[in-house]
Structure 1
Amino acid sequence: MPMRLGYLYSRYPVISQTFCDAEMLALERRGVELEIGSINPPFTSLRHGHCAKLRAEVRYGPPPRVVRTVAKLARRDGIWPAVLVAKYEARYGPAFKAGQRARNALFFAEHFLRRGVAHFHVHFARHATHTALFVKEISKIGFSFTAHAQDFMLDVGSDELLREMCREAAFVVAVSDYSRELLIQKCPDAAGKIHRIYNGVDLRKFQAGPPRSPALRPRVLSIGRLIEFKGFRDLIAACAELKKRGIQFECEIIGDGPLLRALQDAITAAGLDGIVQLPGALSQEEIVCRLADCDVFALASIVDSKGASDILPTVILEAMATGLPVVSTRLSAIPEMVRNGESGLLVNPGDVEGLANAIESLLRDEQLRARLGAAGRGKIEEKFDVDKTAAQLLGLVEAVAVPRSPLNHADRRLKRCAHLVWEWPNPKLPGLDRELAAIAGAPVYVWRSGSIAPAKRSERLVQALEFLPDAIVIKAEWDADRAGAHEIESWQRELPPACNTADYLEAARVALYLGPKLARSGIHHLHATDSRALLCAWILQRFAKITISATIESPPAFASDVMERLLASCSGGRVSDAKIRAGFDGRFLLEPKPPRWRRLFRPGGAYISEQFLQQWRNQLETWSR
Structure 2
Amino acid sequence: MSETATAPRRPRVAIVLKGYPRLSETFIAQEILGLKRLGCPVHLVSLRWPTDEREHPVHAEIAEAPNYLPEYLYQEPLRVVRSWWQARRLPGYRAARRMFLADWRRDRTPNRGRRWGQAMVLASEMPADIGLIYAHFLHTPGSVARYAGRMLGLPFAVSAHAKDIWTIPDWEKREKLGDLAFLVTCTGANAAHLQGLAPEPERVSLVYHGLDFSRFPPPPVGTEPSRRDGSAAGDPVRLLSVGRFVDKKGHAGLLDALSRCRDLHWRIEFIGGGPLKEELRAEAERLGLADRVSLRAAMAQGELLLRYRAADLFVLNSRISDDGDRDGLPNVLMEAQSQRLACLSTRVSAVPEIVRDGETGLLVPPDDPAALAAALRRLILDPALRMRLGAAGETHLRAHFGHASGVESVFQNIRRVLER
TM bracket, shorter-chain basis: 0.7 to 0.9
- Return the match for 1:229 from 248, 254, 257: 248
Contact 2:245/2:276 (<8 A) preserved: yes
CA distance in 1, matches of 2:55, 2:348: 30
Q: Which structure 2 residues correspond to residues 488-527 of structure 1 after superposition, within 5 A?
A: none
CA distance in 2, matches of 1:42, 1:31: 27
**Counterpart in the other structure of 2:239:** 220
SS at match of 2:202: helix
- Taking a change above 3 Å as real, the CA distance of residues 367 and 101 of structure 1, as seen in their structure-2 partners, is same
- Taking a change above 3 Å as real, the CA distance of residues 242 and 208 of structure 1, as seen in their structure-2 partners, is farther
Shift of 1:282: 2.2
**Counterpart in the other structure of 1:45:** 53
Contact 1:327/1:345 (<8 A) preserved: yes
- Taking a change above 3 Å as real, the CA distance of residues 90 and 120 of structure 1, as seen in their structure-2 partners, is closer
- Return the match for 1:196 from 206, 214, 221: 206
**Counterpart in the other structure of 1:70:** 82
**Counterpart in the other structure of 1:29:** 37
Shift of 1:315: 1.2
Aligned residue identity for 2:174? R
CA distance in 2, matches of 1:383, 1:232: 28
- Taking a change above 3 Å as real, the CA distance of residues 73 and 91 of structure 1, as seen in their structure-2 partners, is closer
- Return the match for 1:313 from 304, 324, 330: 330
CA distance in 2, matches of 1:264, 1:308: 23
CA distance in 2, matches of 1:392, 1:78: 32
Shift of 1:402: 4.2
CA distance in 1, matches of 2:342, 2:362: 8
Contact 2:195/2:201 (<8 A) preserved: yes
Shift of 1:111: 4.6
What are the ranges of 5 or more consecutive residues in structure 1 without an aligned counterpart?
404-625
Shift of 1:177: 0.7
CA distance in 2, matches of 1:147, 1:96: 23
Aligned residue identity for 1:147? A
> How many correspondences in the alignment?
397
CA distance in 2, matches of 1:72, 1:231: 43
Contact 2:21/2:50 (<8 A) preserved: yes
CA distance in 2, matches of 1:77, 1:44: 38
- Corresponding position: 1:182 with 2:193: yes
Q: Which structure 2 residues correspond to residues 290-439 of structure 1 after superposition, within 5 A?
A: 290-402=307-419
**Counterpart in the other structure of 2:7:** none
Shift of 1:366: 2.6
Aligned residue identity for 2:201? A
Aligned-residue CA RMSD (Å): 2.3
Aligned residue identity for 2:145? A
**Counterpart in the other structure of 1:240:** 259
Contact 1:249/1:275 (<8 A) preserved: yes
Q: Which structure 2 residues correspond to residues 90-169 of structure 1 after superposition, within 5 A?
A: 90-93=102-105, 94-95=108-109, 100-114=114-128, 116-154=129-167, 156=168, 158-169=169-180
SS at match of 1:189: coil
Q: Which structure 2 residues correspond to residues 553-592 of structure 1 after superposition, within 5 A?
A: none
- Taking a change above 3 Å as real, the CA distance of residues 109 and 286 of structure 1, as seen in their structure-2 partners, is same
Aligned residue identity for 1:173? V
- Taking a change above 3 Å as real, the CA distance of residues 98 and 357 of structure 1, as seen in their structure-2 partners, is closer
- Corresponding position: 1:171 with 2:182: yes
CA distance in 2, matches of 1:211, 1:166: 49
Shift of 1:51: 1.3
**Counterpart in the other structure of 1:257:** 274
The alignment's TM-score, normalised by the length of structure 1, stands at: 0.60
Contact 1:323/1:377 (<8 A) preserved: yes
CA distance in 1, matches of 2:112, 2:67: 22
Identity rate, percent = 28
Shift of 1:346: 0.6
- Return the match for 1:6 from 1, 10, 14: 14
Contact 1:207/1:323 (<8 A) preserved: no
Shift of 1:175: 0.9
Task: State the Cα deviation string for residues 565-612 of structure 1 (Å, max 9, x = none).
Answer: xxxxxxxxxxxxxxxxxxxxxxxxxxxxxxxxxxxxxxxxxxxxxxxx
Shift of 1:118: 2.7
Task: State the Cα deviation string for residues 489-518 of structure 1 (Å, max 9, x = none).
Answer: xxxxxxxxxxxxxxxxxxxxxxxxxxxxxx
Task: State the Cα deviation string for residues 241-272 of structure 1 (Å, max 9, x = none).
Answer: 121xx321110111122221221111111211
Contact 1:330/1:348 (<8 A) preserved: yes
CA distance in 2, matches of 1:360, 1:112: 55
Shift of 1:337: 0.8
Contact 1:119/1:402 (<8 A) preserved: no
CA distance in 1, matches of 2:254, 2:84: 53
More off after superposition, 93-102 vs 5-14: 93-102
